[in-house]
Amino acid sequence: MSVNDDRPLLDPGASAVSPRQLWRRFILFGFAVVLVVTGLGLRLFQLQVTDAERYTALAVQRRQRTVSLPVTRGLIFDRRGRQLVENVPEFVVRITPGAIPFTLRDAVAERLGELLEIRPVEIHRTLDSVTGSTFDPITLKTDIPERVARIIAEEHLGLPGVTVEVTSRRKYPYGPLVSHVLGWTGRVSAEEMDRHEGEGYLPEDTIGKAGVELTFERELRGTYGVDEVQRDATGRVMNVLRTLEEPRAGDSIQLTIDLKLQREAQRALQWGMRLARLQRGVFLVMNPQNGEILAMVSLPAYDNNEFARGISSARYRRLARDPHRPLINLAISEQLPPGSTYKLVTGIGALQDRKITPRTRLRTKRFITVAGTKMFDWHLTGWGPINIYGGFAHSSDTFFYQVALKLGIDRLAYWAHEFGFGRKTGVDLPNETVGTVPTHAWKRQLFSQNIYPGETAQAGIGQGFDMVTPLQLISAYGALANGGTLYRPQIVRRIVDEKGKTVRSIKPEVARKLPIDSSLLRVMRVAARNVLVVRHTYNFVDVPLVISGKSGTAEYGVRDSKGRLPFHSWFVGWVPKDPKRKAGDPNGFKAAGGTDSELVFLAFAYDSRTRGNAATEIAKYFLQLHYGIQRDYRNPELMIKDNFYGQ
């Protein structure tokens, strides 16, 4: 086909569509244009002319809003006023998804990712995953170096919707030393938001997550103020219209913990754990006269500063999956077999129930036969006929099998409950567990059968189904030491306001007066002194203090190839108010019989398998440190792994 200027390009003959049809299309399209434009014009008319007033009113209403004014969180001190937590300023980058133009999102994400060392995808994901209002800023990263914070602040024009704020976060100067007691604070979760609805928590707020930071959240947090403000379209506050609620700073709390004792306890426990290659341990110190916990060490511990700074999920997973469970406070959250320390309950129960008297002698031997089963003593021969003083001091298993059988499982459980086992102590720390006190009813519910006599005998020496927490055990011995008053253990003494004025003192709380004759309690105290005097605990008696107490070896788990069971070691004991030995009381029985003790202590060594009782050595070292005893009575050779067991 030749080409020239005047050639009619549209050749109707070649097309299947007639010009008439095309004309109709042309008109139809024009009609569509008019329709769209008319529609838009009418809407414009509606907005700007007929409904203008309504929208103006809406605009005013939308620009008023209430905002919360966060206040400083209260501090935490030890009983001598040492500061255990600080509030330190921290730069935080926050982003308001709704304030970023869609076309700038990529650029903002890229630049911000570069500055904060986050992958831009993560930023997009954060922006897209907003569930609440897109005009509520969300925290992108905390703990920003000042240099980066400054750059972001300078580049604010290129980073719309991005702000740098100074907030405060917790710093725990003693870290792992008191982390199980203090706990930590973190970002409030959706679940916590629901639980604390109406208490003024903000979406990005900080909340206590563990320890006293959690149990005393309400006191530490204070009351956020509420202002009604006028804001611009970006949500920026322009001016305050009125204050609806005055802010009130959080109160501080003073713990019962004495940092000096805490250090001594930690040092003693760490020494023992290192020497005996132990993975877990507990050391507790308490004042039996009021239930105040003076030291609470649970190892392994974690550094709560890691949490306060915002722990990475990978690091958190590692801590949570650690087989030795550093995040768990073993003193209150772990149930453990008490072993021979439980013989206190069996002995005193039988005495009070008049099943035995302090003079009743029972024959101890290699084993006794219970319902056709041989039940062995830890000692190869036994000690012949002995009374409660000897039975407790030598920790004779066959003695206490017989006592437990005289008492029966349900009476044993009754006395265990009286001492606070099988129920929460009520300490002001979270995640306390109750342990197990076996009864017929308990076993029927679980296994549809009664307790066998053999199991009763086992329960009498703190084995079998018995499970306790270290805090329950020290409280029970505290009740023995003070003459029969079981206190609720407490970790906070008082709450003080900003100016140091006491807002509330937390008074000692009596959980129960034990229905036991004071003379019988005295029998058990003397028996506990006898434990040391008969040298059941090696040379512990040589330490120049009147120490009374009970060691325990608690088997658990499964037998190894040689038929041996792994075991934990316990020692729980006390010293009188004046712990020095007196000339007129060579064995200390007189002092041990008193009820003026102000220091009860407990050492626990998880899976010790040492030649001697590792807990006893740890307790000994603590007393040496605490009372400044220069001579060293420790027996490192007892800390050798040897799978010693018995007693």
Show contacts with another protein in window 155-194 (CB under 8 A).
160
> To the nearest whole angstrom, how small is the minimum distance from the Cβ of residue 331 to another protein?
46
DSSP string, 328-359: S-HHHH--B--GGGGHHHHHHHHHHTTSS-TT
Report 408-467 residues binding another protein (CB under 8 A): none
582 binds another protein (CB under 8 A): no
Q: Is 26 among the residues that bind another protein (CB under 8 A)?
A: yes
Considering only CA atoms, which of 176, 184, 177, 79 is closest in space to residue 491? 79
Verify binding: residue 241, another protein, rule CB under 8 A. Answer: no
* Residue 282 burial class via C-beta count within 10 angstroms: exposed 0-12, middle 13-18, buried 19 and up: buried
Residue 583's φ and ψ, nearest 5 degrees, are -65, -40
Minimum distance of another protein from residue 240's CB (angstroms): 17
Helix axes 343-352, 470-481, angle to 10 degrees: 40
Q: Give exposure, 506-526, as e/b (b: 16+ Cβ within 10 Å).
A: bebeebeebebeeebbbbbbb
Kindly tell me the number of DSSP H helices and DSSP E strands found in the chain: 23, 23
- Using the rule CB under 8 A, which residue among 78, 81, 89, 129 binds another protein? 129
When asked if residue 16 is in the footprint of another protein (CB under 8 A), the reply is yes
Among 75, 84, 93, 109, binds another protein (CB under 8 A): 109
- Asked if 106 touches another protein (CB under 8 A), the answer is yes
Position 202 contacts another protein (CB under 8 A): no
The binder of another protein chosen from 81, 89, 132, 584 (CB under 8 A): 132
Query: Does 373 sit near another protein (CB under 8 A)?
Result: no
The residues near 531 (Cβ < 8 Å, ≥ 6 apart) are 392, 393, 395, 537, 548, 549, 550, 551
Q: Is 17 one of the binding residues for another protein (CB under 8 A)?
A: yes
What residues numbered 32-71 form the site for another protein, per CB under 8 A?
32-34, 36-37, 39-41, 43-45, 47-49, 51-52, 55-56, 58-59, 62-63, 65
C-beta of 19 vs 544, nearer to another protein: 19
Instruction: Name every residue whose Cβ is closer than 8 Å to that of residue 367 and which is 6 or more positions away in sequence.
Output: 374, 375, 376, 377, 398
| Spatial distance between the Cα atoms of 359 and 355, rounded to a whole number of angstroms | 11
Closest approach of another protein to the CB of residue 485, in Å: 58
Q: Does 9 bind another protein (CB under 8 A)?
A: yes
Residues 203-232 that bind another protein (CB under 8 A): 232
Q: 453 CB contacts (<8 Å, ≥6 apart)?
A: 370, 371, 405
Q: Does residue number 6 form part of the binding site for another protein (CB under 8 A)?
A: yes
When the beta carbons of 52 and 510 are compared against another protein, the nearer one is: 52
596: contact with another protein by CB under 8 A: no
Query: Which C-beta is closer to another protein: that of 63 or that of 379?
Result: 63
Between 56 and 189, CB nearer to another protein: 56
Choose, by CB under 8 A, the member of 8, 89, 198, 584 that binds another protein. 8
Distance CA 25, CA 15 (A): 15
CB 553 within 8 A of CB 340: yes
- Type and span of the H or E element at 113: helix 105-116
Judged by CB under 8 A, the stretch of 9-17, 345-353, 483-491, 571-579 that binds another protein is: 9-17
Does 510 help bind another protein (rule: CB under 8 A)?
no
